Every structure is written in C-alpha cells, then in structure tokens.
Amino acid sequence: MCDKYHDLIAQSKVTTNDAEVSAAVEKILAEHLDENMNKEVYKLLFNTIDLTTLKGTDSPASVARFTERVNAFEEEYPELPNVAGICVYPNFAPVVRTVLDVSAVDVVCVSGAFPACQSFPEVKVAETALAVEGGADEIDIVLNLGNFLDDDYQEVCDEMIEQKHSCRDARMKVILETGALRTAENIRAASILAMNCGANFIKTSTGKEFPGASLEAAYVMCQCIKEHYEKTGEMVGFKAAGGVATTEDAVKYYTLVKEILGENWLNKDRLRLGASRLANHLLSDILEKEVKFF
C-alpha cells in the first residue's frame, strides 16, 4: 500500500527486529540500572506519576476522596514533590478540578471510548471536548487498534487529528496498546502515526484488556521519539502504564528513557508513569519505611 502515512513509516530507521530490541534492552539495564537505584531518582519518578483510578465503582464521592489524598500529601510531605497528575474517567474531570488544591498537579482524563476505542468518532470527539470543558489539562486517548491492524492508517490518523483538535489547549497522550500490537514493527508504526497526528506523549497501554507496559515496547517508542525529535525538533513525551507497580519497575523505564533520550526527558513534562500502586512503593523506598498513603 502506498500513501503518505505508509511512506512516512517506511522512512524510519528504528529497528523492527524483536531480537535486537530485547538484546538492546538487556544491555542498557545490565550497564545502567544499578546506578539509578537511589532516592533522588525515586523522588523524580514519584513526581512523574499520573495517580490513577479507573474503576467501574468510581463515583463523585470516591474520586473526591482520591483527590483529597493528593491535597493532603502536599501538607504532610512538603519536602517531597507531589504526583504529576490525577487520572480519571472524563465525567469526573469537574470533580477533580473542584476538589484539587495543588496547582502543580494536572487533571488527566482518559477519553475517546477508553479502553477499547469502540464507538462513533463523533462520540469520541464529544467526550474529549466535554472532558476539556470540565477541566482536564491532559487527555489520554486510545489508538484505533481495529483500523490500525486492518492497515487503514488514513482512518486511524483522521480520528487522532480530530481528537487533537477537540483537546484545544490540553495535551494529548495517545495510548498505543502495545500488548495488542505485540511486534516492534507495529509499535514503531503506531508511534510514528501518533506523533505525526499531534500526540504530546505516546503511552504504552490502557492496563485493561491486553498486556500492559513492556520494556521492549518502551525501547522502540523511545527510539521513535528520538528520531522524531531529530527530524522535527518536537519533544514528544513517553508514558508507561499497565503493570508498572514496583520501584524497580519504574527505575527500569527511567533507565531506558535516560539512555535513549537523555536528561531533557527526565521530568514530568516528558516522562509519565500511569499507576495506582507505584506511589506507595516509591514513598516507602524514599522514606525507608512502609508507607500506605494512597
């Protein structure tokens, strides 16, 4: 097939050899993981967390309580950086915006018929617009896997571009659902499409139907981000989500980002971790005692 999107992907020099990717990940971690297992890195990583509640039992009251914990953290641990964002379903954006007292913490909403991305395009666009209207600073949408796997890149991109438009000034993260894409070739293609449709971040996973984040997917995504930056000057962020639960898990992703993309990506504007369990594990390792704050 020949169109501008397939041509764009064909120009990429990022490896699509899965064995090469696995070997590269192993080499980076063997050489650099240990040096990053320290409290300064843990503090930085805590500040990249999108603290997440995406349950069927979420309610205005439960989301308000969830948000109050972030407010309370600011008071109880003033010497530590807070989380980067609070991630909720789009109908709860007004709740978080109303309750949240910490200006440095973003309101993040999943949108676009998360997690399956199965609805009318008009519904996805409307949901995103309503989330932004309700106070969302960032929108996490899902790449249309069905159209992608059908090789209909035009439809995939048209949908992302429309949702980007409905984000207005809010940042857009595109979830690739790498556990469904599976191969380095697919992950490379999806990364390139998302970035060329205006993604401010590319994100691994929803953490729902398919396997979550993997280090191999992160490696390919970061290489694509690097190539995109060298080509366009645009610094696209990376977000790992889905199963990033322990301190060591988080540091592994940090290590890949540091070695592939460099120091300019080691901050909450370029690196995010979507998590519900990670915050307490990082806090416990920072404070050297078991902490169950969130």
Kindly name the residue from 124, 164, 239, 268 that is annotated as catalytic.
Answer: 239
What's the distance, Cα to Cα, between the start and end of the chain in Å? 49
Q: Is the pLDDT confidence value at 1 over 60?
A: no
Kindly name the residue from 106, 137, 140, 285 that is annotated as catalytic.
Answer: 140
pTM score = 0.95
pLDDT, mean over the chain: 96
Check residue 67 and give its pLDDT. Answer: 98
Is the link from the previous residue into 115 a cis peptide, with omega within 30 of 0? yes
Q: Is the pLDDT confidence value at 202 over 80?
A: yes
Q: Is the pLDDT confidence value at 211 over 90?
A: no
Give catalytic status of residue 3 as yes or no: no
Q: Is the pLDDT confidence value at 10 over 60?
A: yes
Query: Can you tell me the mean pLDDT for 28-41?
Result: 98
CB count in 10 Å sphere of residue 29: 17
Check residue 2 and give its pLDDT. Answer: 54
Evaluate whether 184 touches 16 at the Cβ level (below 8 Å): yes
Q: Which residues pair with 85 in a beta bridge?
A: 50, 106
CB count in 10 Å sphere of residue 272: 27
pLDDT in tens, 240-281: 999 999 999 999 999 999 999 999 999 999 999 998 899 999
3-state DSSP assignment of residue 85: strand
| Cα within 13 Å of Cα(249), Cβ side | 20
pLDDT in tens, 51-91: 999 999 999 999 999 999 999 999 999 999 999 999 999 99
Q: Is the pLDDT confidence value at 223 over 70?
A: yes
Kindly name the residue from 124, 164, 203, 258 that is annotated as catalytic.
Answer: 203
pLDDT in tens, 154-174: 999 999 999 999 999 999 999
Give catalytic status of residue 268 as yes or no: no
Strands 201-203 and 271-275: unpaired
pLDDT in tens, 91-145: 999 999 999 999 999 999 999 999 999 999 999 999 999 999 999 999 999 999 9
- Pick 136 or 207 by higher pLDDT: 136
Phi and psi dihedrals of 172, rounded to 5? -115, 125
Query: Which of 194, 182, 183, 173 has the alpha carbon at shortest distance from 84?
Result: 173
Give catalytic status of residue 106 as yes or no: no
Query: Can you tell me the mean pLDDT for 170-182?
Result: 97
Evaluate whether 76 touches 55 at the Cβ level (below 8 Å): no
